[in-house]
Amino acid sequence: MTGTPYDSIADWYDEQVRVAGYHPEGVAHERSAFDSLLEDITDREVCDLGCGQGAITRRLALGGAKVVGIDISERLLQIAKRQEAVEPLGITYLQDDARHLSRLRDRSFDGVVCTWSLLDIDDLTACIKAVARILRPDGWFVFVITHPCFQAPGSRVVDGDRLVGSYFNPNPPKDTDGRREESGRGVRELQGK
């Protein structure tokens, strides 16, 4: 598999995720909201789709799941595997494309989790079909995406509240340091896809 846009920003992305608190010891209210979407995952086989550096993958494993983390970025998977080597939780990490999931068998998972990654997948129909294929009957798919107000141009936090100015602005959102445009949706928008 060739390099991906996330490979070039993997270290920056890993730092941002950790600073934002999305790692296992992250912000309590965010963990609570996410965890409330899940069934009891003890001994369940769960796929973390778009696992990145494995922050959520590790939380799932700590919750008792048998987890396979999937990402297209080789560099992010290297970071995830490095953490797994330091603190083993029995996680398997595989490089694969979310539109195909060709390395995974049909009906092999009780659940699939995808946090924030759907925004960066350019063929959602193919992705949803691949997820449906790997899920067992009565399997579940929990995904989390960012509400557009959090990426609206000019949005900011003031005294703990998010202020949004140009919510209906048709221009693509940009982050303050330009890194978001180096990956995923930003790359597709710049390429006119």
DSSP the chain: ----HHHHHHHHHHHHHHHHT-STT--HHHHHHHHHTS---TT-EEEEET-TTSHHHHHHHHTT-EEEEEES-HHHHHHHHHHHHHS----EEEE--TTT-TTS-TT-EEEEEEES-GGG-S-HHHHHHHHHHHEEEEEEEEEE---GGGGSTT-EEETTEEE-S-TT--SPP--TTS-GGGSHHHHHHHHT-
Phi/psi class of residue 101: alpha, beta or left (left: φ > 0; alpha: ψ in -120 to 50)? left
- Whether pTM exceeds 0.85: no
CA atoms of 181 and 178, how far apart (whole Å): 6
Q: What is the pLDDT along the chain (193 residues), one digit of tens a residue?
A: 455 766 766 777 667 666 555 444 444 545 566 677 777 899 999 999 999 889 889 989 999 999 999 999 999 999 999 999 999 999 999 999 999 999 999 999 999 999 878 877 888 999 999 999 999 999 999 988 766 655 566 666 777 666 666 555 555 555 444 444 444 443 333 333 3
